[in-house]
Structures are given as C-alpha cells and as structure tokens.
C-alpha cells in the first residue's frame, strides 16, 4: 500500500513513509507534515491508537489525518471521525478521489495551521450566534489554544464552516472581543465538536496582541 501511494502521489507531494507506528509518531512530531495518511492495521499498535495519540498531543493535534483502510462499515468510519480523522478512504483506493481529497484538506487546513504561532492556553469565552438550524445559541467554553488572530475550542452547538459568531472574553467580567469565523470543525458527529475560529473583527483587548 505504501508503495502504491508513493507511485501515485510522489509526482505532486513530498512523501515520507514508514511501516513502524512508533517511528511514525516520532516523525510526525519532528517534521510536522501537512497531512498524515494512516492505515488502521499496523504491527504492535493499531491505527486507532495512533490516531488517538496524534490528536491528543499539542504538537500534532492540528495535522489532518486521512484514514486508508480495508475495514469498511459505517461504525468504523464514525469511530475514526470521533477520534479526529478528517476523512476515510477504503481499499482498493480510488487515487483520483484521494488526490482530490488531499487538495481539499490541504487547501482548508494549511493556511490556518501555518500562518501564526498558537499557544496552548485555557481561557473562558462566551460564544454567541446561530447554529446550523438558524437557532440562536449562547454558551461558555474554554479555549484549547489561542493565537493572535484566532482560537480553538469546543462548542455544543453545531456550526457551519464560514459562519460567524460573537466572542466575549471572560476575565473579571465580560468584554466583547469581536466576531470570529469558523474555519475548521473537528468531531462534528460527537456531542461536543471542536471548532477553529479566526477573527474577522476585533474590538478591545484580546489575549495576544
């Protein structure tokens, strides 16, 4: 499978591969690839475990993971999504579809991931806006990381990509910080999805200047 991936993708992408899951984890931490293609079946360490580990670490959690596996079924696909995988391709792989999927993932993820430094910081915010069903919501949520222009946090409301919300900083009171747009969602099929937000309008003080 690794050989086929290299044959079909090496003309467009720089590829680094390994069949050793421990080495794969070390490589991901060191080189911070733009995307990870992950098989579910590996020696001594399942792809599920590696996906969970990668998504739990601050240094690798924002790297998109594409699952490539011979394990079909809606339950397996849903479980991979809950672990944080971006998308899922069954074997035998449709490489034309995989190329298109890679282009979508990289176009959507890389500008947000690489544009500026993020700090792992827990800060309580109030989020206010409308969900996918045009229902008004308002809830408190702690951030997982912040940057000068955005933040990552969970939210029970189901939000559309590119939708805009109001953001209030809770710090000895409540201060309006501006309006932020949803640029990426993770775990949308879970009870507590996570969203990456980027400010489209900033007012007053933000955590990072």
Q: Are 208 and 147 in contact (CB under 8 A)?
A: yes
- DSSP, residue by residue, 171-187: SSSEEEEEEEEEEEEE-
Alpha-carbon distance of 21 to 18, in angstroms, equals: 8
What average pLDDT is seen over the chain?
86
User: What pLDDT shows up at residue 141?
Assistant: 92
User: What pLDDT shows up at residue 115?
Assistant: 53
Tokens of 203: 């007012």
Q: Which residue has the tokens 């990870």?
A: 36
- Evaluate the omega torsion of the peptide bond into residue 92 and state whether it is cis, within 30 degrees of 0: yes
Determine phi and psi for 48, rounding to 5 degrees.
-60, -45
pLDDT per residue rounded down to tens, the chain (209 residues) = 889 998 999 888 889 898 888 888 888 888 788 899 999 887 777 888 889 888 888 778 889 999 998 877 788 888 888 888 988 999 899 999 999 999 888 877 654 444 567 788 889 999 999 999 999 999 999 998 898 889 999 999 999 888 999 999 987 788 999 999 998 887 766 777 889 999 999 887 788 76
**SS3 sequence of 123-156:** CEEEEEEECCCCCEEEEEEEEEEECCCEEEEECC
User: What pLDDT shows up at residue 109?
Assistant: 61
User: What pLDDT shows up at residue 112?
Assistant: 45
Query: Domains plus CATH for the chain?
Result: 2-114 (3.40.50.2300), 124-202 (2.40.10.220)
Alpha-carbon distance of 111 to 115, in angstroms, equals: 6
User: What pLDDT shows up at residue 38?
Assistant: 93
User: What pLDDT shows up at residue 55?
Assistant: 87
Buried b / exposed e across 154-172, counting CB within 10 Å, b at 16+? Answer: bbebebeeeebbebbbeee
- DSSP, residue by residue, 80-110: HHHHT-SEEEESSP-HHHHHHHHHHHHHHHH
């Amino acid at each position: 499978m690794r050989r086929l991936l290299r044959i079909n993708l090496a003309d467009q992408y720089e590829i680094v591969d390994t069949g050793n899951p421990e080495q794969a984890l070390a490589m991901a931490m060191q080189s911070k690839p733009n995307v990870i293609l992950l098989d579910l079946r590996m020696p001594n360490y399942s792809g599920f475990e590696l996906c969970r580990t990668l998504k739990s670490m601050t240094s690798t959690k924002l790297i998109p993971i594409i699952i490539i596996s011979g394990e079909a079924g809606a339950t397996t696909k849903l479980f991979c999504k809950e672990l944080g995988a971006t998308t899922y391709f069954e074997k035998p792989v449709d490489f034309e579809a995989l190329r298109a999927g890679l282009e979508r993932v990289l176009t959507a993820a890389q500008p947000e991931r690489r544009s500026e430094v993020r700090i792992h910081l827990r800060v309580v915010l109030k989020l206010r806006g409308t969900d996918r069903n045009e229902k008004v919501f308002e809830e408190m949520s702690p951030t997982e990381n912040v940057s000068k222009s955005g933040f990552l946090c969970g939210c029970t409301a189901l939000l559309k990509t590119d939708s805009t919300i109001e953001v209030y900083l809770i710090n000895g009171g409540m201060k309006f910080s501006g309006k932020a747009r949803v640029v990426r969602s993770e775990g949308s099929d879970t009870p507590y999805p996570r969203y990456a937000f980027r400010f489209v309008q900033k007012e007053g003080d933000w955590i990072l200047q």
